[in-house]
Each structure stands twice: as C-alpha cells, then as structure tokens.
Amino acid sequence: MDKIKMGISRCLLGENVRYDGGHQHDRYLTDTLGDYFEYTPVCPEVEYGLPIPREALRLIGKPDSARLVTIKTGIDHTDGMLKWAQGKLKELENEDLCGFVFKSKSPSSGMQSVKVYGPSGMPVHKGVGIFAGAFMSHFPILPAEEDGRLHDPALRENFIERVFVYKRWQELLKKGKTIKNLIDFHTNHKLLVMSHSPKHYSSLGKLVAASKGYGDDFFGDYIKTLMEGIRLLSTVKKHTNVLHHIMGYFKKQLSSDEKQELLEVIDEYHKQLIPLIVPMTLLTHYVRKYGEPYLKRQYYLHPHPIELMLRNHV
C-alpha cells in the first residue's frame, strides 16, 4: 500500500509556525505514523497571512458563533479566516486526503473543547477552531482527530482504523464504482463494522441487499453510514461478541481442549486481564490452519499494521 495522504497542523511536524515562534512537534505522528502517512501540512494563521511571531488569538462570544480575535488589540480575523478557508478547502479536495490531525486547543485548529471567552472574561471549553470547524463541515465523513486525544489508546486505534478503512474506500473508487466491487468491500469489513456498531452492521447489510434498485446515492449513502458506524468506539463487550462469532466457525475443527483454551483466553480478555492481541493471535492461527475463506478476508483480523501495536493495551 502506498503511503496514506493525511492533513496535519503544521506545528505538529516541528515547524516553527506558532504565535510565539515555536512548535509542538509530536514524534509519534512523525516517527511512527510517518512510516505509513504522507502529510499535507496546514497552518491556517500563517497561510491566512499573519506573521511569525504574532499576537495570540482567542475565541470570544458564544461557542456556536464564536469570533476569532487578537487578545490585546481585539482585531477580528473571523471573516478573513473563513474566506481563506474556503479557498484552502477547495485546494484540499484535490489532495485525496484520508484524514486530518489537528492541533488541540488552538482557536484556529482545535477540533473541540477550545476555550471561548464570554462577556465575563471566564472561558468555557466548548469551542471549535475556525478552520477545524470549516474543514469538518466540508469533509464530514473524513476521519479527524487532535494530537492530544491520540494519547488515549482507544481513540488512537479508532482514528487510525478509520483512516485505513477510508484509504481502502478510495482504492475501491479508483477500481470502479460497481456493485460487485462494493459487495466485496462490504464483505471484507463485516466483522470490523460489527465490532463498532451492530446497528450499523445491520443497516449496511440492508443497504447492500437493496443495491440494485437503490439509485445514484447508493455509494454515498454506503460510505456515510459506514464511517458513521466505525466512528463509534469498539468496546470489550463488542469485541468479545465478535470473538465468539469467529470461534463459531471452528466448532467442527477444534478439539475439546482447544475450544476450552480459546474460551478461557476470550474470557480473560473480557475480564480485561489480557489485551485484545492475545485472543486475536490465537484465532488468526486457526484461520490460517484451517483456511476458513470468509475469515481470511476479514480486515477485522488485521485492520492496520501490526507494527503499530494498537491492540496491545489492556
């Protein structure tokens, strides 16, 4: 697989573009994910035309209609930033991005919980950065996350998993928007979707079953429903359900001792005594040993490179 194209806040790459002339280099993003991601860096404030260093900005007003102003001089850059963002978003449409990593807490790039200052001068953590908000409105199904939230193992795996799913979706579109290609794609992702949302798993199944008479919106509705579903976090309970589902494919092949061992390993995972990688490794062994064709094609068993160790945490 070619490197995945990703948008990123420029300061996270170590570039000195922050208001104080510094950076916020995130080595996990550059040194680890950089082996798989090709970054398109964006710094809204600099590209909009502000200097380095510059007067700091903040959001003021109400969270749903906040204005972007300089802290000391009170210059309002909201309209100018939004106008610049319109052109930048058009430009990014041609980049084939599979996601974006934003700088947290930034009044231009924060994805959520950005400080918004009201008349009292006391902030509420309910704002969205001006550019980040415009980006997410323009690309509503594209995976987006903040650097700070990527320190959470569950949020990190969820984001990276969505990025790889969207990359495979892009490859499907390049191969051709045919019902056959979509059914293959859907079949390959069934267990992965089940691990996030049984509800969306059911909805996607009904959507695919009605594909022949669906109309022009079929592909758009499919990917919208898929990305909405896998945005929901997997849980120990949902994973345990899928693990038992996979085990059911081997009820004739496994000996009593092998079944007992597998049940014990799944139960230990369910009790959060061992990480997900342990039962997954054992099940993957049986998939290879017995050559179960449906399971061999499931991305649930290998949704992202094993080197990232995203399923190794308890």
Q: What is the pLDDT of residues 167-218, one digit of tens each?
A: 999 999 999 999 999 999 999 999 999 999 999 999 999 999 998 888 789 9
What pTM was computed for the model?
Answer: 0.96
Ramachandran bin of 139, using left for φ above 0, alpha for ψ from -120 to 50, beta for the remaining angles: beta
Which residues lie across from 40 on neighbouring strands?
7
Residue corresponding to tokens 């590209």 = 47
Spatial contact of 7 and 95, defined as CB atoms under 8 Å apart: yes
- Rounded to whole angstroms, the Cα distance separating 75 from 81 reads 12
The crossing angle, in degrees rounded to 10, of helices 198-209 and 179-188 is 160
Task: Give me the chain's average pLDDT, please.
Answer: 97
Cβ partners under 8 Å of residue 248, min gap 6: none
Please report the DSSP string for the chain in residue order.
-PPEEEEEEGGGGT-S-STTS-----HIIIIIGGGTEEEEEE-HHHHHT--SS---EEEES-GGG-EEEETTT--B-HHHHHHHHHHHHHHHGGGT---EEEPTT-TTT--S-EEEE-TTS-EEEEE--HHHHHHHHHSTTS-EEETGGGGSHHHHHHHHHHHHHHHHHHHHHHH---HHHHHHHHHHTHHHHHHH-HHHHHHHHHHHHTGGGT-TTHHHHHHHHHHHHHHSPP-HHHHHHHHHHHHGGGTTTS-HHHHHHHHHHHHHHHTTSS-THHHHHHHHHHHHHHT-HHHHT-GGGSSS-GGG-TT---
- Rounded to whole angstroms, the Cα distance separating 169 from 167 reads 5
95 falls in which pLDDT band (50, 70, 90)? very high
Please count the residues of the chain. Answer: 314
Q: Cα dist. 234→64, 162, 223, 229, 238 in Å?
A: 29, 12, 19, 10, 6
Quick one: tokens of 141?
Answer: 């199904």
- Which pLDDT tens digit goes with each residue over 145-154? 999 999 999 9
- Rounded to whole angstroms, the Cα distance separating 268 from 274 reads 6
239 falls in which pLDDT band (50, 70, 90)? very high
- Rounded to whole angstroms, the Cα distance separating 205 from 183 reads 10
pLDDT at 214: 84
Spatial contact of 29 and 13, defined as CB atoms under 8 Å apart: yes
19 falls in which pLDDT band (50, 70, 90)? very high
pLDDT at 212: 83
pLDDT at 213: 80
Nearest Cα neighbor of 112 from 144, 87, 77, 140 is 144
pLDDT at 314: 79
